[in-house]
């Protein structure tokens, strides 16, 4: 079953060879890397939206080394238990999580606003439908999705409600209270704990919280790995330059990554 929607007229898209098209003759070519760009100019607010190429490359290098594998495995185990037919991964980035989740479903759509990230993702797993698009206008048909996932990504609640089937699921992963505390301690004069519970309050009007868990991963990072981690987080530009440079000079760092995972169900 096709899940994609034309971002211009909102009609269903069909695939024919190397293009997607709708009944109103809006047409979108599949790029040579295997993704389709549905981020139309009407929805763009900058020339290069999303993560920078440097951030994407740092995250690809860091994740491919397996440091966040405990989280990836926890997400896959949850999907295996739920046995949903399809999923939409919002903010899929370079595809580390969506590619793993694809093995547990019949159809997986990965969406991200950063074209450079989706280009990398499309080389990873050709079984995923990779799409460049904005979460503000998800190019997916109404009430077609069994599970939406947002892993460290924005949560466009109105759009998620539109695309989810009745009683379907929303999986949210966000930093837990003490996530990367040792690294943040080195970067900032004062460390403010993350507040993952804010998402429960934000979503309680339209979603029931089904289950939650915290996944921890103890990391021993060398200098290069530490640099990759800094570059892929928002801390890279929020910290003072001198503190960031001092941390990047360290030969190694022991730090714990702590992830809060929430599973919600649409009311």
What phi and psi, each to the nearest 5 degrees, are found at residue 140? -130, 145
Q: Is 92 annotated as a binding residue?
A: no
Choose between 234 and 219: higher pLDDT: 219
Residue 1 has what pLDDT?
81
Q: Are 43 and 134 in contact (CB under 8 A)?
A: yes
- Residue 141, Ramachandran bin (φ over 0: left; ψ between -120 and 50: alpha; else beta): beta
pLDDT computed for residue 235 by the predictor: 86
Residue 93 assigned to a binding site: no
| Cα 177 from Cα 212, distance rounded (Å) | 14
Structure tokens at 65: 């080394």
Average pLDDT over residues 73-85: 98
Res 49: pLDDT: 54
Measured CA to CA, the distance from residue 237 to residue 9 in angstroms comes to 38
- The rounded distance, in Å, linking the Cα atoms of 82 and 98 is 16
108 in a labelled binding site: no
Return the percentage of the chain with pLDDT > 90, whole number: 91
> In this predicted model, what pLDDT tens digit does every residue of 154-203 receive, in sequence order?
999 999 999 999 999 999 999 999 999 999 999 999 999 999 999 999 99
| Nearest in space to 221 (alpha carbons), one of 251, 243, 181 | 251
- C-alpha torsion sign, points 112, 255, 260, 237: negative
Is 148 assigned to a binding site?
Answer: no
pLDDT mean across residues, the chain: 95
Residue 42 has pLDDT above 60, yes or no: no
Place of tokens 């991963």: 217
| Helix 223-232, helix 241-248: angle, nearest 10 | 150
22 in a known ligand binding site: yes
Q: Which two tokens stand for residue 173?
A: 């992963």
Q: What is the secondary structure of 74-138 as a DSSP string?
A: HHHHHHHHH--SEEEEET-TTSHHHHHHHTTSSEEEEEES-HHHHHHHHHH-TTSEEEE--GGG-
The reported pLDDT for the residue numbered 88 is: 98
When the candidates are 3.40.50.150, 3.40.640.10, 3.40.190.180, 3.40.50.970, the CATH number that belongs to 37-216+256-266 is 3.40.50.150
Q: For the chain, what are the domain ranges? A: 37-216+256-266
Whole-structure pTM value: 0.95
Give me the percent of the chain exceeding a pLDDT of 70: 96
- Whether residue 96 has pLDDT greater than 90: yes
pLDDT digits (tens, 9 = 90+) for 45-55: 555 556 888 99
User: Which pLDDT does position 40 carry in this prediction?
Assistant: 84
Contact call for residues 258 and 214 (beta carbons, < 8 A): yes
- What is the spatial distance between Cα 53 and Cα 11, in angstroms, rounded to a whole number? 32
């Amino acid at each position: 079953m096709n899940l994609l929607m034309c971002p211009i007229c909102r009609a269903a898209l069909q695939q024919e060879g190397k293009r997607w098209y709708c009944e109103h003759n809006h047409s979108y070519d599949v790029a040579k890397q295997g993704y389709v760009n549905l981020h139309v100019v009407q929805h763009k607010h900058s020339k290069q939206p999303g993560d920078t190429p440097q951030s994407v490359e740092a995250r690809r290098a860091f994740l491919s080394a397996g440091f966040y594998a405990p989280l990836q495995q926890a997400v896959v185990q949850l999907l295996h238990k739920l046995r949903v037919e399809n999923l939409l991964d919002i903010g899929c980035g370079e595809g580390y999580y969506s590619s793993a989740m694809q093995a547990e479903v019949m159809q997986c759509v990965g969406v991200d606003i950063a074209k450079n990230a989706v280009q990398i993702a499309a080389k990873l797993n050709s079984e995923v439908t990779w799409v460049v698009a904005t979460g503000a206008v998800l190019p997916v048909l109404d009430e077609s999705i069994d599970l939406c996932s947002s892993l460290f990504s924005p949560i466009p609640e109105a759009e998620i409600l539109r695309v989810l089937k009745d009683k379907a699921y929303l999986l949210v992963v966000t930093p837990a209270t003490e996530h990367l505390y040792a690294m943040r301690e080195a970067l900032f004069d004062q460390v403010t704990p993350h507040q993952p519970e804010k998402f429960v309050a934000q979503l309680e009007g339209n979603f029931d919280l089904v289950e939650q868990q915290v996944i921890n991963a103890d990391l021993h990072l060398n200098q290069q790995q530490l640099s990759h981690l800094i570059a892929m987080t928002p801390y890279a530009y929020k910290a003072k330059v001198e503190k960031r440079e001092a941390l990047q000079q360290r030969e190694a760092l022991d730090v714990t990554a702590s992830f809060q995972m929430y599973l919600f169900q649409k009311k």
